[in-house]
Amino acid sequence: MSVAAISSPPLAVGSFLPRSPWRTGPRFSMALRSDAVSVARLLTKLRHDCATPLPVLQRVADAMSLAMRTGLAADGASGLPMIPTYVHNLPTGTEKGLFYALDVGGSNFRVLRLQLGGKEDRVISTEFDQVSIPQKLMSCTSEELFDFIALGLAKFAQKQGDEFHITPGRKREVGFTFSFPVKQTSIDSGILIKWTKGFAVSGTAGRDVVACLNEAMERQGLDMRVSALVNDAVGTLAGAVYWDNDVTAAVILGTGTNACYIEQIDAIPKLKGYHSPSGRMIISTEWGAFSNGLPLTEYDRDMDAASINPGEQIFEKTISGMYLGEIARRVLLKMAQVGGLFGNSVPQKLSKPFIIGTPDLCAMQRDQSDDLQAVGSILYDIAGIESDIYARKTVVEVCDTITERGGRLAGAGIVGILSKMEQDSKGIVFGKRAVVAVDGGLYENYPQYRAYLRDSVTELLGIENSNNLVIEHSKDGSGIGAALLAASNSMYKHDS
């Protein structure tokens, strides 16, 4: 199993995504029918409200930089959370030994082990497994859930093959990727703020999740300790920097979204007096909470009002995979109600929230056939919708408009982070090669989204700076990165 990240070439100027062949001009033309005027008006307004010309992108990037500074100054301020991770020892390639990773962030958890051989051999062997968490354990006690996780980790450790070996007299060490809201207190401790993603486990909120895991491992008789607690963005950065020293930031674009970057300690006022041996620390921006200057529509506002966290995570609700399909569904529902997009009746299933997923948007945008047959099939399979070519073209246009906004805003967020770093230390980013590692199913599997993201970065940075920037896909980097952080923060790292 290769753990090397797959690099994309430096950014280039120009459009990364040609318009579909059935479009004429900047947008497609269509023959009007009796109810098409209302649909056309809704589509025009959607395009207008979602528009991301360069001035809008620049406004968002500048606002992101400002929100970062505000969040670094003090907790509870009006800026981003900017959570200190206490990760200041990054992998260098010199690490040796056997290290594990545990990745808990949803209805499954992953376990992984790496045998590291130092500068010459790097990663000698890797192995991983995935375990499903039963539904009943998502609303059980803390002890029950962590005992189940520790048991899965213990079973995986017992299956250790001959190509993996631990130095005699040492405990196994594990990097713990825990992708729930946590207030980090050190490299190997963090207090759970609340459960999300459908979990309602009692007795964990307000407790150190590393202590919960360590206690469970002891109950299972597993001789292992947590050396690093990280989230998926931090793990991705660590996994990427192991192979490429020019990596400065990492972004997760999947069901949810986050970004982290390497910050200088003296640029973190709220950590005044804290000493870092390296003089730097990874900061988790929690940029899903960003909301300033975003181009929003009535559909965004309605979706937010109906969500479990109204008024929160607005950037995430605009750019991440969880929500793009739902925004499109709300647009299509109104077009069906006001303009009869799908005939005289409104398809009943179209009223069901989240029935259209972001993978459906991607699949429909990939249809290049003259009659958009795949689009018609997807609409029928999802919601029993019978559609003509006019409706299908409209659906694809809606998908493209929402995806374009999401990708371009994500790109503006990346530029906001890089610009903040550059403002503090001239030449640290734009004067040389810089790499941003990106992981997540949305970025990996949605080529149109990737293209729009790259376009916006290029527009904002210009030719010279964008030629120095590499946006690198670091597939499944968070688990490997957690194991590498366990190695770089090992209790045995100074042993000869």
Amino acid identity, position 40: A
Q: What does the DSSP 8-state code read for residue 418?
A: H
**Positions in the chain short of pLDDT 50:** 1-34, 496
Residue 371 annotated in active site: no
Place of tokens 């004429």: 24
Model pLDDT, residue 32: 40
Model pLDDT, residue 18: 34
Number of helices and strands (H, E) in the chain? 15, 13
Token pair of 58, please?
A: 């620049």
The residue annotated as part of the active site, out of 103, 147, 188, 232, is 232
Residue 197 annotated in active site: yes
- Helix ranges (H only) for 96-227 are 118-121, 142-158, 209-219
- Closest Cα to residue 385, out of 395, 399, 397? 395
Cα–Cα distance between 22 and 30 in angstroms, integer?
Answer: 10
Cα–Cα distance between 93 and 124 in angstroms, integer?
Answer: 12
Is the CB of residue 394 less than 8 Å from the CB of residue 43?
A: yes
- Closest Cα to residue 126, out of 487, 496, 491? 487
Helix, strand, coil share (%) of the chain residues, nearest 5: 45, 20, 40
Place of tokens 């200088």: 264
Model pLDDT, residue 228: 95
Model pLDDT, residue 464: 87
Cα–Cα distance between 151 and 144 in angstroms, integer?
Answer: 11
Angle of helix 373-383 relative to helix 389-424, nearest 10 degrees? 90
Model pLDDT, residue 494: 59
Half-sphere exposure of residue 408, counting CA atoms within 13 Å on the CB side?
26
Cα–Cα distance between 308 and 438 in angstroms, integer?
Answer: 27
Model pLDDT, residue 33: 45
pLDDT (tens digit, 9 = 90+) per residue, 19-29?
333 333 333 33
Q: What does the DSSP 8-state code read for residue 141?
A: B
- Pairing assessment for the beta strands 280-284 and 257-264 based on DSSP bridges: antiparallel
Torsion from C-alpha of 255, 435, 473, 483, nearest 10 degrees = -80
The residue annotated as part of the active site, out of 45, 159, 194, 197, is 197
Residue 191: exposed, middle, or buried by beta-carbon count in 10 A (0-12, 13-18, 19+)?
middle
Model pLDDT, residue 196: 80
